[in-house]
Structures are given as C-alpha cells and as structure tokens.
Amino acid sequence: MSIHIAAEKGQIAKTVLFPGDPLRAKFIAENFLEDVTQYTTIRNMFGFTGKYKGVPVSVQGSGMGIPSAMIYAEELFTDYDVDTIIRIGTAGGMKEEVKVRDIVLGQGATTDSSVLKNIFRDQVSFAALADFDVLYHAYRIGQEHNLGPIHVGNILSSDRFYNEELDNAKLADYGILAVEMEAAGIYAVAAKHHKRALAMCTISDHLITGEVTSAQEREQTFTNMMKIALETACHLADK
C-alpha cells in the first residue's frame, strides 16, 4: 500500500491511463469502463479500475506538473506492479500545423526542469523517450479508427505554466510540437524501472492563434484521445 494512493495489491490494472485532471479520470470511468471500482480518493486524486471490452484498465489522476506526476508514476510502478502508463493530457500547440483538438503523441519530451538534470548530476542531458511499442500501436490504432489528426514528435514538458522567458518560436523551429507539464518526468520514472510510458495529449489551446477550449471541454470532450488509449490498453493485454 503506497502513501499517496493507498490501494490494495491487485486493485490496479497492468495498464493505467494517466490524466492530469482527476475529473477526467472520473469521466472515463463513468463513460467507458464497466464493473468499475474506485480504489483511491486521497487528495481527491481519483483512481478507478474497470473493464474496457473485457480488459482490466485503471485510470489515475496525476495532478499538474512533473513532481506530482512522478510521485504517482513511481508508486504505480513500484507498489502496484503496473507495466504501462499512458498519459492522456492536454497541451498547447506550438506549430501552425498542429491545430486545437488535434492529438500529439510525445515521441520525446524536452524539458527545462532541473529534475532530470539532477538525476544524472550534470553528467548528461538525458533524452526522455516514449516506449516505441506503445507509441507505434497508439498511432496505428488512431489511424485505423480515424481518430485523428495525429502528430508524432518532440514535446516540451515545461516546469512553469506561466513562463515568459522561454523562446517558444525557437523551440518550435527545432521541432517542438506542443507544450505540457508532465511527460518528461513520467518517461524518466518509466526508464528507471524498465517500464513503458507514452504521453498523448489533445491540443486544448494554441500559443500562436490564441484559440482556447473550456475546462469542461478539456474534461469531457477529448474522447478520441481516450479511445486511442483504451484500445492501446487492449492491444497490450493481448500480447
């Protein structure tokens, strides 16, 4: 039993969907899963396990930011024998071809956070990468089910939401598709424990156009991303 989740062994599935917003976790449990049990309410960071097409799947809120996401990822991997975490989050678009409501799969996660640097004590700049198998099948499933548009590439895991110092134009010129706040930390924890992780994000706002979606839209309407993650979980269970 872990400190921040406090579920019993066996209550959490091998694959966990990992939204930042606990209300998005609740929405998924109520609208996509059957035979649902809620295994945690600690700090209102809800966690649920149910079945999708007969396959056990859990969905756990992670909170905002790398430190919060790393706490929950660490406990899921080490205390509950989770094999795969699939982040289902939101991100800000940083390139014109990436539109609001498009889906971005984070092949890699650049970050300005000192967390990864501190892990290696300035020896290297660690490249935080998604698991290729999970990435490949998420992309394939999205294309086959026409759940796009889907973009694959490098994303930015920013340490601060309000950050005027970052040169967003230069980052975009170097191929950064979108900015969010968790993926690099999740990828690092997965690498540490030889586990699998993927961050998929729906574009909820755009740094160039200024277009935004509401909190309710972010919680309840980004269902294509949810479907891709759930279908990917089914694929992983079949392997």
Question: How many Å is the maximal CA-CA distance in the chain?
Answer: 48
Q: What percent of the chain has pLDDT over 90?
A: 95
Q: Letter for the amino acid at 196?
A: R
Segment among 33-42, 130-139, 207-216 with least mean pLDDT:
207-216
Looking at residues 131-138, what average pLDDT do you find? 98
Looking at residues 33-57, what average pLDDT do you find? 98
* 178 phi/psi in degrees, rounded to 5: -160, 165
For the stretch 168-201, pLDDT in tens is: 999 999 999 999 999 999 999 999 999 999 999 9
Residue 84's nearest CA partner among 178, 226, 196 is: 196
pLDDT confidence of residue 238: 78
pLDDT confidence of residue 239: 66
Residue 178's nearest CA partner among 128, 235, 107, 233 is: 107
pLDDT confidence of residue 136: 98
The overall average pLDDT reported for the chain is 96
Residue from 79, 112, 133, 205 carrying the catalytic annotation: 205
How much of the chain is in helix, strand and coil states, percent to nearest 5?
35, 30, 35
Is residue 205 annotated as part of the catalytic site, yes or no? yes
Q: Is the pLDDT of residue 113 over 90?
A: yes
Domains of the chain: 15-238 (3.40.50.1580)
Cα–Cα distance, 158 to 184 (Å, whole number): 9
Q: Could you tell me the two tokens for 158?
A: 């920013």
- Rounded to 10 degrees, the C-alpha dihedral 219/196/91/51 comes to -20
pLDDT confidence of residue 74: 98
Confidence class for position 219, pLDDT limits 50, 70, 90: confident
Q: Is the pLDDT of residue 82 over 80?
A: yes
Q: Could you tell me the two tokens for 203?
A: 């574009």
